Amino acid sequence: AVVGKDHSYDVTEEITVNIPQTLHQIEFAIPSGSFRMRGLTVDGTAFASNISSSGSSVKIVDQQALTTGIHTYTIRYKILEFADRNTAKDIFYFNVLLPEWKQPIGEMNALITFPDDFPVDDIQHYAGQFGAEDTENRLTYKTEKSSGSFSVSGKRIPENYGLSLKAELPDGYWEGALDGVWAIFAMILVMGAAVLVMLVLWII
């Protein structure tokens, strides 16, 4: 993932699956929450997506990509976060591995690249299954100050295992993050249109 100064994340997920027998579809969990997602694609493969605040997913439906054997799927998307209301600090919070993932993972590697002025030394990480902190240290973490990046690797990760990163930043660090004003204007327009329609019907 590449983190932008506008509190956005350009994410590329490369997932390799060994399919034991031909499937009709395969489903992967993707992030969901109070943010906007843009540009969701799967390279070279037909797919269907389900985007919701309660749980989003991507289904691979291309029969050529679901035959017995090893297949690699590359999922790309952009997350646009809303600005927080805390006037004392800005918050960075990112789910590297979703707890909604329902299958064990043989091996994983993740690289998150930050803006040049991001305090990578302040990153805290939390990992575990079903919300409990992992005491077996299944993951290995590495911070590269020179490149402004944070990497994670691990093997034999169980299902429903999550990994989150968090950091507290100076207030005003995020520039141009979504502020929700568009939603207020949209609500005003909808209410105004409804009132106008009622008025026209009353006149008629």
| Residue count of the chain | 204
- List the strands of the sheet with 69-80, edge to edge: 36-42, 69-80, 8-19, 2-3, 105-113, 149-157, 139-144
Q: Which one is predicted more confidently, 184 or 129?
A: 129
Q: What does the alpha-carbon distance between residue 100 and residue 77 come to, in Å, rounded to a whole number? A: 18
List, for residues 2-45, the tens digit of each pLDDT value: 999 998 999 999 999 999 999 999 999 999 888 889 999 999 99
Is 0.75 surpassed by the pTM of this model? Answer: yes
42 CB neighbour count, 10 Å cutoff: 23
List, for residues 97-138, the tens digit of each pLDDT value: 998 888 899 999 999 999 999 999 999 999 988 777 776 778
Q: Residue 116 has what DSSP assignment?
A: T
The pLDDT value recorded for residue 183 is 44
The pLDDT value recorded for residue 186 is 47
Rounded to an integer, the average pLDDT of 171-176 is: 84
Which residue has 């390279």 as its token pair? 43
Q: What does the alpha-carbon distance between residue 30 and residue 100 come to, in Å, rounded to a whole number? A: 9
Percent of the chain with pLDDT over 90: 59
Lookup: tokens for 132: 């409990």
Question: What average pLDDT does the structure give for the chain?
Answer: 87
Q: Residue 133 has what DSSP assignment?
A: P
Which residue has 């209301």 as its token pair? 85
Which region among 51-55, 65-69, 168-172 has the lowest average model confidence (pLDDT)? 51-55
3-state secondary structure of 173: coil
The pLDDT value recorded for residue 181 is 45
